[in-house]
Amino acid sequence: MPTILCKNDITMKIITSITVLSLIGFVLGAPTSNDEDDEKFLITKSMFPKEFIKYKAEHEIVNLLLPINSLNFDENESSESSSEESESELLLFFVEADVDSNGDRVDQGLYVLKEDKATKLLDHGRDAAASGDDSKLVFFGAKDGIYVYNKDNNSADKYGTVDDSIIAIAKEKTGDVIYILTENHEVFNVSNGGTTKEKLDDVVNAKEIVVDYSNNLYFYSDDKQAYVRSADGIKKIEGLPENPSSVKLIKPPFILEDGVPFIVDNVAYIIYANGTSEHSGIEFKPKAKPSAYAPEAAMIQYYAYDKNIYEYNVLTIILGTILDELKNYLNKNSEDIQSLSTKSRKYRQRA
C-alpha cells in the first residue's frame, strides 16, 4: 500500500481516489476491499465539458507535466500571493505529436502554457520531468539530448553532454539524478549536471518509464507487464491482467509516495514499489480515455483528450454547476476536500 499523508479514514479514501486518476475529482472513493458498497466510476465523453478546455492543439497531445516544485508553488512568496494559486499562473508543459495506426509518433513540438499562451520550446521535444522539491527546474527529453527550462527567457537550454535520442525522461524527487529512455529502449541514470551517464543493465527493452516520490523506477517491456526497480532489485508487479492490448504509466500525484498509476486497457490501477497492485475502481469508456495525464498537484489536474487540454479544479467543481453527477458525490466529502486543499501546499513542499 502507498504512503499516504493523512490519518483521517475518510480523507484517506479521498486521497487514495486522487492517486488512482479518477479523471475529474479524484475523490471518487476508490475501492480498497471487495465490499459491494465500494463505488466504481465510469469515465465517459460527458466528463470532458467544453467549459473545462484550457487549450486547443493542432495535433494529438501525448504528454503533460504540471511541475509541483517552486516553479509553480513557491513557498518563499508572500502568503497573500501564494495561499491561493491561480490556475492561469501555473506553468503547464505538453508535447504534441501525430500518431499513426501503429502508435508511432511524429514529433510536433514541446510547449509551455504560460498565462494561457502556448510557446513552442523544442521542435523535437518528447517528454518533460521535474523534481518534487523547492527547485524551479524542469527538464526535457528531446531527439538530441536533455534540455532545461529557462524561466527568465521562457525557452529551453541544452543541459549537460548527453546527445542520445530520448523518448522519455524522469526525475528523482530531490538532487540532480535524471533517468532517460532512449529510442533504443535503453535506460540511463544521468547525474553531475548532465555529464555522467550510466546504463541500467537490469532494465531491459523498456517502453515507458516513471519515477515515484521514493525514487523507485517503473517500466514495462514487450509483454506490457509492469515492473519496478527499487533498492531490492527488479520486481514484476503482481495482480494485473495478463495479455493486455494497451498500457500506460502515469506520473503520480504528490500525495502518493511509493506507487504510480497504471492504465491497463480501459482500467486504472495503482502499482506499488513492493510489487503489488490494486484496481482503482476507475474505468474508461474506450473512446473516453485521455491521451495524456497530469494529476501531480491533486486538487488541480490536467488531462488531454481529442487534441484539447482540460483543466479540473476539485473545489470549482463542487461550487459550480457543471458535471452535476460528479458534484453530488464530491459534496458528500466537501469538508475533507477543503481540508486537503489547505494542506496540499504544505505537503507539496515537504521535501
Q: Which domains does the chain possess?
A: 9-348 (2.130.10)
Planar angle of CA 253, 80, 12, nearest 5 degrees: 30
Sequential pLDDT tens for the chain (351 residues): 334 344 334 333 443 344 334 444 333 333 333 444 455 778 888 889 899 999 999 999 999 999 999 999 876 654 444 434 455 589 999 999 998 888 789 999 999 999 999 999 999 999 999 998 899 999 999 999 999 999 999 999 999 999 999 999 999 999 999 999 999 999 999 999 999 999 999 999 999 999 999 999 999 999 999 999 999 999 999 999 999 999 999 999 887 889 999 999 999 999 999 999 998 878 899 899 999 999 998 778 999 999 999 998 876 766 665 555 555 555 555 555 555 555 454 444 444
Pair 328, 286: CB distance under 8 Å:
no
* β-sheet bridge partners, residue 218: 210, 228
Collect all residues with Cβ–Cβ distance below 8 Å to 155 and sequence separation of at least 6: 121, 149
Q: What gap in Å lies between CA 218 and CA 222, rounded to an integer? A: 14
Quote the CA–CA distance of 187 and 167 in Å, as a whole number: 10
Q: How do strand 155-158 and strand 196-199 relate by DSSP bridges? A: unpaired
Strands 196-199 and 92-99: unpaired
User: 334-348 vs 9-19: helix axis angle to the nearest 10?
Assistant: 70
Per the structure block, which three cell numbers stand in for 202?
537490469
Place of cell 516553479: 71
Radius of gyration of the chain, Cα coordinates, nearest whole angstrom: 19
Residue type, 232: D
* Parallel/antiparallel/unpaired status of strands 105-114 and 53-56: unpaired
